[in-house]
Chain A
């Protein structure tokens, strides 16, 4: 039986949810000191603390979260270039060049493309392992994103450039801005000591496993009606590009509710079926000359592969008995 928490402990538990152990300890210590002083002075000390959920959002912005504490050690160390990572990272660029080479462009197109490519190896020469270097990467990737959006907008219309800019800036936010925020927190003297519980996992895998154990994951928290309306609208708009993603998501969403897939064998067949759909949809049609509409499908397949990469390694490293449900599909 779980012991009942005092109102202050409950407030602290809500306010420190998702913070690293060190950040949570600091918040608890300060609020406890404050609460004691407020009690001595009289009045409703607990009510004066405010809404813990609102404060939790504010704390997460300024103190290290548990996921950032896991990520910090790998971000502060330079990463060695790795052939598999280079190949995976170059796939969308190769697709973009292949797509561009089949079209007529204005005189400024290729100089702009070359400018974009020149910024790509920056991480090899200036690894973003400090606050200052991370700032340089934010500026460079900001300029690069603007160039990509400008190319799309200029040559293929500004409406077409909207989804491109949304995707690019979303990725930039996650990979560049969040790294900058983490370095700012470290530079302010915040410390971390959280290490993966399973020593065989990398920090990124440990973060993903934490998320899965808490019931999170891609598209996991989107209400089913919104998800299907969104997929139907996208498929109707550009069937060639979005149909594979719709099939992929719908299959994953429905099968895990309808079919008994939670054994290793069934799960493997389900994943083979889903990946085959995606690969066939993304790779075969361009061979028959349908180059332009399918570039989106190829990029989506690549994006899903990158998203699924931590799940693939978690399945290899963890015994089946320890798999969270999300790993079965």
Chain B
């Protein structure tokens, strides 16, 4: 399942606590959604680059188990964007639930 438009918020949520690399971000989103949200990796990286372009994440090179990796960390603007994304999602999901319950 892949909900259009939710990926940027999910990425920001995944790296809110600590910086991470692309593979781990993808795995974390998949695990936390019990395998429901499975974004293709080719979709994940352009989304990460877009967030970097918008200034909501920053990237840097780090080393994990002797292997160089590119890590992404959330910026101040990213935290504000995440808060906005959470609020919007909460409103949308509540509205959709109301409609579906009525049906």
Contact = CB atoms under 8 A, between A and B. Distances in A.
Contacts, number: 63
A306 to B, nearest CB: 31
A188 B52 contact: yes
Interface string B34-71: 00000011110111011011010000000000011110
A33 interface: yes
Nearest to A35: B41
Given A61-B50, A185-B53, A188-B55, A33 B70 contact: yes
B49 A31 contact: no
B22 A188 contact: no
B50 A62 contact: yes
A43 to B, nearest CB: 11
B40 A34 contact: no
Given A33-B67, A185-B53, A61 B46 contact: yes
A55 B21 contact: no
Interface residue SS majority, chain A: helix
B53 A188 contact: yes
Given A31-B41, A34-B23, A50-B41, A59 B46 contact: yes
Interface residue SS majority, chain B: helix
Contacts of A27: 45
B46 A58 contact: yes
Given A33-B21, A33-B70, A188-B53, A62 B41 contact: no
Nearest to B69: A33
Contacts of B40: 48-50
A interface, how many residues as a size bin?
Answer: 20 to 34
B60 to A, nearest CB: 10
B70 A48 contact: no
B48 to A, nearest CB: 9
B45 A31 contact: yes
Given A188-B53, A188-B55, A29 B42 contact: no
A50 B69 contact: no
A184 interface: yes
Interface in A58-78: 58-59, 61-63
A52 interface: yes
B70 to A, nearest CB: 6
A37 interface: yes
Contacts of A184: 53
Nearest to B44: A34
A30 B67 contact: no
A193 interface: no
Contact of B42 (A50, A62, A189): A50
A38 interface: yes
A58 B43 CA distance: 8
Interface string A15-38: 100000000001101110110111
Contacts of B43: 50, 55, 58
A15 B52 contact: no
Contacts of B47: 58
A282 to B, nearest CB: 43
Contacts of B52: 62, 188-189
Nearest to A58: B46
Contacts of A54: 42
B95 to A, nearest CB: 29
Contacts of B42: 15, 31, 49-52, 54-55, 58
Contacts of A49: 40-42
Given A31-B42, A31-B45, A33-B23, 17 more contacts: A30-B22, A30-B70, A33-B67, A33-B68, A33-B70, A36-B67, A37-B23, A38-B23, A49-B41, A50-B43, A55-B46, A58-B46, A59-B49, A63-B49, A184-B53, A188-B52, A188-B55
Which 4 pairs of residues, A with B, have the shortest CB-CB distance? A50-B40, A50-B42, A58-B46, A55-B42
11 contacts: A27-B45, A31-B42, A33-B22, A33-B67, A33-B68, A50-B42, A54-B42, A55-B42, A58-B42, A59-B45, A185-B53
